[in-house]
Amino acid sequence: MRFILFSDTHIGGRYDEMILMKGIDFINSVDGDIFIHCGDLTGSGTLAEYEIARLYLEKIKKKPFFIVPGNHDCKNVGDLLFEEIVGDRFWVKTLENKKTKILGLDSTEPDANTGRMGPKSIKRIYEEFEDLPEYWLKVLVFHHQTLPIPYTGRERSAIKDAGDVVKAILDCNIHLVFNGHRHISNVYKMSDGVVNAWIINVGTLSCKKTRYREEYSLTVVDASLKKNNLAIRSILLKKEPVREVVKYSGKFQRFIAPMNKKHLATIIQIGNTAFSNSRFRMDNFYKGIETINLIPCDVVVHCGEVTGASYVNEFQRAKALLSQIEKPLIVVPGDNDAFPLGWDLFPEYIGDPNPYFENEKLIVKGFNTCLIDEQEGRLGRGNTKEMIRTFENKSKIGVVTFHHSIIPLPHSKHDAELIDSGDVLSAIVNHRINLVLTGAKNRSGCWQVNDTVFVNAGTLSSENITTRYGNSFNIITISQTDKGKLYEIDEYFIETNQRKTIGVFHISDKALPIRIPDRSVPNTIHL
C-alpha cells in the first residue's frame, strides 16, 4: 500500500507558486494507491484563496485524493468554505481489496493555531478501528501534531487533548498516523509495548515558512502488514535534482518475545508529595514510605512537586519527611517548587536541583526544567548538550528525570510540557537514552518512543488525585534478556495495597534502523 502525502500548501498566502507547480507535477508522475493532503490548503481560509486553491486542485490528476482541514483553512469561517469547495471535513475510506481503512478527522478550532480533537472525534476513532481485524491496515489522518516535533522552536499549537488521542491510537492498534502543521517531516515509532504506531509528520509542499534546511517536501509511505515491511521517504523538491531522504526502512512491527531474563535494576518513582498545610495526606505518605522501604531497589526518584507552594515551612517539612526514605534518593523540582522563594529554598533544604546518581548498573541524571512562576518548563540547549554528554557511555542504563512531560497524558490538557520538547524528545530518542522519568499532572502512564521508555508518576501523597485509584508510586524493574532489555512498570496503589502492571517494553540492544544515504531521483518518477 503506497501513500503519497503532502501538506501546508498555504495557497493564496505566503506560498511559492513555482515550487507548488513542481510538487503537483511530481505528484502526477508518482504511482500511488492513495493521495492525501494533510491540511492548510489555503493561507487564511478566505473565499479568494479557496477559489485559487480550487484551480490548483484541478491540476492534481491522481485519485483517490483526500484532504483534511488545517488551522489556516478554518480561519475567517473558512470551515464552511472548505465544505462547499473542497469537501467533507471528516471522511473515511475503506479499501477492501487492500484490507485498509483510512479515517480523516478535523482537528482544528476556529481562528486558532492550536487543535482539539474533541470527544466525538475520539469516539469516532474507536468506532471505526476498535473492532477491525488486526490484519487490516489502520490509518488515521488529521492536521495537528500529538508528539512534539524537532526543529520547530517553541512547542505550541498541538492538540490540547493529545493525551486522549494518543491513548485512542494505542488502544485501537492504529498502525499509521499522518499529520502536517509544523512544516517539517518527521517520523516516530510509538508503542504500548506490543503494537507500533508510526507517527508521521509531513513537511510543507509550498509555504515559504520553512523549517531549518528541509524547505519544501512531500512524503511517500510504503506499508505492508502482510510482508511486515515499511518504508518512509521524504522527497525534497528544492534540490536539483530532486532528492530522496529515507526516514525509515525496515520491519513494520518488531516485537521481541523475551526469553531468559536477568535482573539488572529496580527504580522506585514517586512524585507530587505536595508537602503543605492543606493538600498533603500524611497517612498515605507514611504508608507509602513504609512500603517503599521494604522493596529492594537501587534508587528512589522524586519527579517534582515536592511542596504545595514553595513556602519555608513546606520545605522544612519536606526535608524531615523525605529523610525517612531509607534508599538512595534524588529529587528534581516541579513548578510548585519554583515560585520565587522556592528557587532559593530548594537547594537549601532538598539539594542540587540538577541531581546525579550512579552505581554499577545505573546513571540517573536529573534536570531542573522549571521556569519561575510558570507551569510550562524548559530544558534548554545547554542542558540538552549536557544530557547527551552524560549518556555517551552506553555501558550503564541511562535514566533522565525532570518534572515536565513530553508525552501527552490522557484526560488532561496538554499544557505542562517542556516548551522545547520537540528538540528534547529528538535528542533523547536519537541518542537512545534508555529511560525518561517525569511527574507532571499527578497521573501515571508509560510509553515507548523509538527505543526509549517514558514513565510518568502519579501522586504519592497529594489530595489532588486525578484517578479513581488514589495515591500511588511506580516500581520500574529492568532486566537483561538474550536480545535486549525488558522494562516492567508497575503502579502500586497505597490505600488498597494493589500492584498493577501498566506497561511492559522489550527493547533490542541494537540500534535500528541502519541509516541509509540520501539519493537523487529523476524529476519524473515511478517509485
CA–CA dist 315, 319 (Å, integer): 6
Cβ–Cβ under 8 Å, residues 375 and 416: yes
Contacts with 24 (C-beta within 8 Å, 6 or more apart), sequence order: 56, 59, 60
Instruction: Please provide the DSSP assignment of 381-406 as one string.
Output: HHHHHHHHHHT--TTSEEEEE-SSBS
Domains and CATH numbers, the chain: 2-255 (3.60.21.10), 266-476 (3.60.21.10)
CA–CA dist 87, 68 (Å, integer): 9
Show the cell assigned to 305: 512537586
CA–CA dist 302, 299 (Å, integer): 10
Instruction: Please provide the DSSP assignment of 186-246 as one string.
Output: EEEEEESSSSEEEEEE---SSBS---TTT-SEEEEEEEETTTTEEEEEEEETTSSS-EEEE
pLDDT, tens digit, 9 for 90 and up, residues 193-234:
878 899 999 999 999 998 888 899 999 999 998 899 999 999
- The residue-averaged pLDDT of 131-148 equals 94
**Residue 229 dihedral angles phi and psi, to the nearest 5°:** -120, 145
pLDDT of residue 413: 77
The pLDDT of residue 158 is above 90: no
The pLDDT of residue 516 is above 60: no
pLDDT of residue 512: 59
Percentage of residues in the chain having pLDDT higher than 90: 77
In what order do the strands lie in the sheet containing 100-104? 91-95, 100-104, 137-141, 176-179, 196-201, 186-191, 445-449, 452-456, 435-438, 397-401, 362-366, 356-358
Per the DSSP assignment, residues forming a β-bridge with 337 are none
- The residue-averaged pLDDT of 381-385 equals 95
> What CA dihedral angle connects 38, 41, 47 and 49, to 10 degrees?
180
Helix or strand or coil: residue 70? coil
CA–CA dist 123, 16 (Å, integer): 38
pLDDT, tens digit, 9 for 90 and up, residues 16-70:
999 999 999 999 999 999 999 999 999 999 999 999 999 999 999 999 999 999 9
Instruction: Please provide the DSSP assignment of 423-473 as one string.
Output: HHHHHHHHTT-SEEEE-GGG--EEEEETTEEEEE---SSBS---STT-SEE
pLDDT of residue 346: 96
pLDDT bin (cut points 50, 70, 90) of residue 322 is very high
pTM of the complete model = 0.94
| Count of beta carbons in the 10 Å neighbourhood of residue 294 | 8
Cβ–Cβ under 8 Å, residues 47 and 77: no
CA triplet 248, 156, 48: central angle to 5 degrees?
A: 90
- The identity of residue 31, as a single letter, is D
CA–CA dist 467, 458 (Å, integer): 9
Q: Using the Cα atoms of residue 393, residue 394, residue 397 and residue 399 in order, give the sign of their dihedral.
A: positive
Percentage of residues in the chain having pLDDT higher than 70: 96
